[in-house]
Structure 1
Amino acid sequence: MNAALATLPVLVTLVLLALGVRALYAALAALATALTLTATAFPTPLADLGDASQRMLPTVVELAAILFGGILLSELMARTGAQARMGERLGSACSSPGRAVLLVTLGVTPFAESLTGFGIGVIVAIPLLRRLGLPPARAAVAGLLGLVTVPWGSLAPGSLVAAELGDVDFQRLGVDSALLSAPVFLICGAAALTVALGPRRALASAGDLAIAVTALWGTVWAVNAYVGVPPAGVLGGLVTMAALLLVSRLRERNSGGGEPVGRALSPYAFLVAGLLVSRAVLEAAGVDEGWWAVVAGPAGWLPLTALLAPRLLGARWQVLGGAARAAFGRWWQVTLTTAVFLALGTLLTVTGMSREIAEACASLGSSYLFLAPWIGAAGGFLAGSNTGANAMFAAGQAETARALGHSAAHLVAVQNVSAALASGAAAARVALAAQLADNAPGPASVRPRTEAAPADPGAGGTATRRMAETRSATETITGPDADSPADTRWVLRTVLGVHALVFLTAGVIGVLWG
């Protein structure tokens, strides 16, 4: 009976979202349900609830700062033309539409997300996908499907939490998570291509997909096995970008010319350098938690990068005021929704509701192994965070695995990967992706389909021709409303549909594995 009651907040969230209720209202309804259950079926001392709230506060502040800094930086990159220059350079580097989409979804997004975490990969990727010619809704989906290295996001704190709570070796968990990520990379990459270009053109890009998936998976596995867990996603994204750019140069005889984008990339270089230096300083000082860790992480460096972006990009300081006002209007709703979902996840954990759900599932015997990915996915979807989901369910998954005589490391890896992937479909993250796609400018240089591409064989002509091909491909599957605002519900349904296929595959692997 308690297990059935414990599932009510999850069911309320899913039902309301399926009915089209806004994410914030669905989250508030689920939180109210959880609070009612706390006062009745799951009584919890106020002291425990207070302690949990205090532990959650740094995370809320961190998320709020990261979201505002990310949205503001995206707004500034668009207003100063930096995103346009980067998109045009991608167009000149990869005249193949499929290869350009893969470069962003399996290269740029994993790199940015692994470095900073918290969905920053989407903030970087979606404006680039829009510049490549994708309509808003398609760009939002492709960007979200690029969140495939979240287990190593922000240099893997979520995986560390899973290893500690599940009492498994950290590096062993990293290797197992990497092995389990092979179908994640393949399915999400193929789906992103199909959504962006349509089935026929996606099939024509199967060779590039194989190269990208092999480069990303091979690097992530090798780094986990022989170097360490934290840098795996960062290096995987870099190697994938390098592999696709090399293939483009060899196949297209493309010199990769075009307008230099060093200055346009300077905010990202500043952010990367700051994060790496501050992380090294904190490790040397033995500081791994607390407010100093928050300030020295993405929550501190991302807003600072945004504030300095006009100077780094050579723009007037006046652009900052308008960008900040626009960013705040988009930020507060997304942040409030995220905070409510985080409070819900914390409440489920401290009251024991998440434990009740896991224990009830364990009574299913070996068939539980097939359901394990869905439990992790539920946590990731609700919390919007791999760390939060692992805090809810990693210990229960490990205990269940041991009770069933299954490998705890394998099942915690299933939890880690499925929760990480589902966090990319969290309602707040989908809303953020849709807003970014709606506000990001499309390729202004794309000509109507009836016009011929420029005769100039240089980089500008290549970029424009590639953008026109991408727009032509998307128009064949999106119809005349290709540039209409992104439908958040369609984006959510599409991403969840792809994720469901991944979770089914992971469930089969879980049954056969170990």
Structure 2
Amino acid sequence: MNALLATLPVLATLGLLAAKVRALYAALAALGTAAVLTATTFRTPLADLGEAQLHMLPTLVELAAILFGGILLSELMSRTGAQARLGARLSGACSSHSRAVMLIVFGVTPFAESLTGFGIGVVVAIPLLRQLGLAPAKAAVVGLLGLVTVPWGSLAPGSLVSAELGQVDFQELGVVSALLSAPVFLICGAAALAVAHGPRRALGAAGELLLATGTLWFTVWAVNTYIGVPLAGVLGGLATIAVLLLVSRLQEQGREQAEPVGRALAPYAFLVLGLLAGRAALSAAGIEEGWWTVLAGPAGWLLLTAALTPRLLGADGTEGAALPTAVTTATARWWQVTLTTALFLILGTLLTVTGMSREIAEACAALGPAYLLLAPWIGAVGGFLAGSNTGANAMFAASQSGAAHALGYPALQLVGVQNVSAALASGGSVARVLLAAELATNSPGPQATSPAPEQQPSPTGGGQGGTATATDTAVRTEAPATAVRTEAPATAVRTEESAPAPVNTGHVLRTVLATHTVAFLVLGVIALLWR
């Protein structure tokens, strides 16, 4: 009975989201349900509740700062024209549009997410996908489907927590997680191509899919096996970028190369170097948690990078004064996303400290071997609610390991299933979807020197981001790579509507979760057969 009651907050969340209730209200309803259960059935001392929430506070502040910094950096990169130059360079470097999409999904996104974590992969990827010509809703979905190396996100603290609580070897867990990720890469990659180009064109791009997923998977597996866990996602993303660009270069010998964009990459380079320096400093000081990790981690460096972006880009005049306006715009877009994220994070903490998450896992374990089919879904619930692989593994890794021992099943494999499924679901959490929708709505599409026939430029010649409706059928969507190689300057007229319509977050969430559902079903079958 207690296990059934423990599922009520989860069911309330999923039911309200399925009914197209706003994520903020769904989070409030779920949190209210959990609070009532805490006061009646899962009674927990107030001191324990307060200590758990206080322990979670640095994480909440860090997430809020990362969300603000990510939105602000994206806004500045768009306003200064740097994102447009990067998009033109990327499309010009690839001989096919599908290869450019795969390069972002399995190269850029895994690299950025594995290095920084917390959804920064979509901060980098979605504006680039918009520059390739994807409509806002498609760019949001495709960007989220690129979050496939989250077990190694932020250099793998989530996997470390899973190994410690599940009492398995860290490197062996990395290898198992890599093996289990093979079908995840294929499923998410196929879905990304289908969303970007439609099923028929996606089928024709199967070669691009196999090349990208094969390179990423082999590199991630090899690094976990022979080097170590933390760098697997970073090196996997870099290897995928290198292979796809090399293939394109070999196919395009003799063609004119696009204009160099080294200056446009300066903010990202500064962020990467800063993160590496921050990690080195924290490691030397022996600091693993607390407020210093917030300041020296992704949150602090992302805010500093955003503040310095105009100077790093060498912007002057009106572009150099873009920061104050960008801050105002980013703040207006940030607060609702952050509030919803905070509520779900509080909910995940409450489920853990009251023992509700443990009740759910133990009840499922009583099902016997059939539990193996449900194991990915338990990890997915944690990832979806916590929005973090680390948080999800803190909720369920120990319970999954205990269930494995009770069933006589290898704990390493079941903890690996937990790690991969929780990581994947965190990429489709409400917080990530809201961030992706904001970025896609407000990131401009490709620029051109003249407007499309059915669109007219604004009097000032520079509209804001695109829409999720009229622009879906605009000529820029799903255009071949050559169609977007305009390399227009930042001052060119945008073929965009001046008033962007918000991306339908419900549609994005349902599409991503449908893809994840296929992956969880496959992982469950693998767990059942892999004895």
Is the Cα contact below 8 Å between 1:446 and 1:468 reproduced in 2?
no
Give the 4+ runs in structure 1 shifted more than 6 A.
Answer: 446-450
Q: Equivalences for 1:196-211 in 2 at 5 Å?
A: 196-211=196-211
The equivalent residue for 2:421 is: 418
- Contact 2:102–2:209 under 8 Å retained in 1: yes
Q: CA deviation at 1:253?
A: 2.7
- Compared CA separation, residues 68 and 254, structure 1 to 2 (3 A): farther
What is the match of residue 82 of structure 1?
Answer: 82
Q: Which residue identity lines up with residue 509 of structure 1 in the other structure?
A: I
Instruction: Give 1:112-511 correspondences, 5 Å limit.
Output: 112-253=112-253, 257-316=257-316, 317-445=320-448, 465-467=482-484, 485-511=502-528
Change (3 A) 1:59 1:375: same
8 Å contact from structure 1 (residues 449, 468) kept in 2: no
Whether the 8 Å contact between 1:133 and 1:468 is mirrored in structure 2 is no
Counterpart of 1:350, as a letter, is V
List aligned pairs for 1:58-97, cutoff 5 A: 58-97=58-97
C-alpha displacement at 1:57, in angstroms?
0.4
2-structure distance, mates of 1:180, 1:449? 46
5+ long unaligned stretches in structure 1: 451-461, 470-482
Q: Which amino acid aligns with 2:166?
A: G
Q: 1:446 to 1:373 in 2, by over 3 A?
A: farther
Q: Using the TM superposition, name which of 74-83 and 164-173 deviates more.
A: 164-173
Deviation string 1:57-112 (CA, Å, 9 cap, x unpaired) is 01001101111111111100000000000000011101301001001111101111
Q: Report how far residue 484 of structure 1 moved.
A: 5.9
8 Å Cα contact 2:193-2:202 kept in structure 1: yes
Q: Deviations over 1:367-392 (max 9, x none)?
A: 10011001111111111111111111
Report SS of the residue matched to 1:265.
Answer: helix
Q: What does the per-residue CA deviation read over 1:226-267, in whole Å, with 9 as the maximum and x for residues that have no partner?
A: 111111101100000001001111123365721211011001
AA of the residue aligned to 1:403: A
Summarize the Cα distance change of 1:484–1:96 in structure 2 as closer, same or farther, 3 Å threshold: farther
Calculate the TM-score normalised by the size of structure 2.
0.90
Contact 2:7 2:360 in 1 (8 A): yes
Give the TM-score of the pair, scaled to structure 1: 0.93
Contact 1:93 1:254 in 2 (8 A): no
Percent identity, aligned pairs only, is 72
Is residue 43–residue 351 contact of structure 1 (8 Å, CA) maintained in 2? Answer: yes
Q: Following the alignment from structure 2 to structure 1, what is the Cα–Cα distance between the partners of residues 159 and 150?
A: 9
- Partners of 2:254 and 2:180 lie apart in 1 by 35
Measured after TM superposition, the shift of residue 449 of structure 1 is 9.1
Q: Which ranges in structure 2 are unaligned for 5 or more consecutive residues?
A: 454-478, 487-499
Deviation at 1:447, TM superposition (A): 7.6
The alpha-carbon deviation at position 427 of structure 1 amounts to 1.3
Q: C-alpha distance in 2, partners of 1:337/1:37?
A: 21
Query: 1:466: how far off?
Result: 3.9
| Aligned equivalent of 2:46 | 46
Q: In angstroms, what is the RMSD of aligned CA positions? A: 1.8
| Amino acid aligned to 1:388 | G
Go from structure 1 to structure 2 and tell me whether the alpha carbon gap of 1:390 and 1:245 turns closer, same or farther (over 3 Å shift).
same
Which one is further off, 279-288 or 88-97? Answer: 279-288
C-alpha separation between the residues in 1 aligned to 2:20 and 2:52?
31
Shift of 1:445: 2.2
Q: Which segment is superposed worse, 288-297 or 438-447? A: 438-447
Q: How many residues align?
A: 491
Name the SS for the 1:264 alignment partner. helix
Tell me by how many angstroms 1:143 deviates. 0.3
